[in-house]
Amino acid sequence: MLSKSCEYGIRATIYIASKCCESRKIGLNEIATAIDSPVAFTAKILQILAKNKIINSTKGVNGGFEILPENLKLINLMKIVEAIDGTSVFVGCGLGLDNCSDTHPCPVHHEFKEIKTKLKSMLENTTLEKLALNFKSGSFFLKY
């Protein structure tokens, strides 16, 4: 349901968030390696995230990417999805039909509508703070 760019964006943001208390900016190569993503692809995604003020970007010798600790509670996964993929995943037909609606449903309309509602709720209620803490504790991983 999410694009590959969005998947990598979420992974990169979680990685950066997990490093927020180290008092250093995280470099592009480190992020790309940590999430098993091509460097050039990661750079484009990070630009989008910085432009949308999800992460901070600093150029130069001591440059890199960071998320301020006070922002970890404020940033949820929905903000990342909206920045990269927009909200199109939450509208439209699961089969791509133009005229699908509650009154004229496709074969998967009602089930897909329920899935979209649950996905949206999960994205809105999951903060970077929670994900970063779980990642740091070893509860999950970010690359294959």
Is the whole model's pTM more than 0.85, yes or no? yes
CA distance 9 to 48: 9
CA distance 46 to 83: 11
Tell me the domains of the chain and their CATH numbers.
4-86+127-136 (1.10.10.10)
Taking only the tens place, the pLDDT of each residue in 89-132 is 888 888 989 999 999 999 999 999 999 999 999 999 999 999 99
Report how far apart the first and last C-alpha atoms of the chain are (Å, whole number).
19
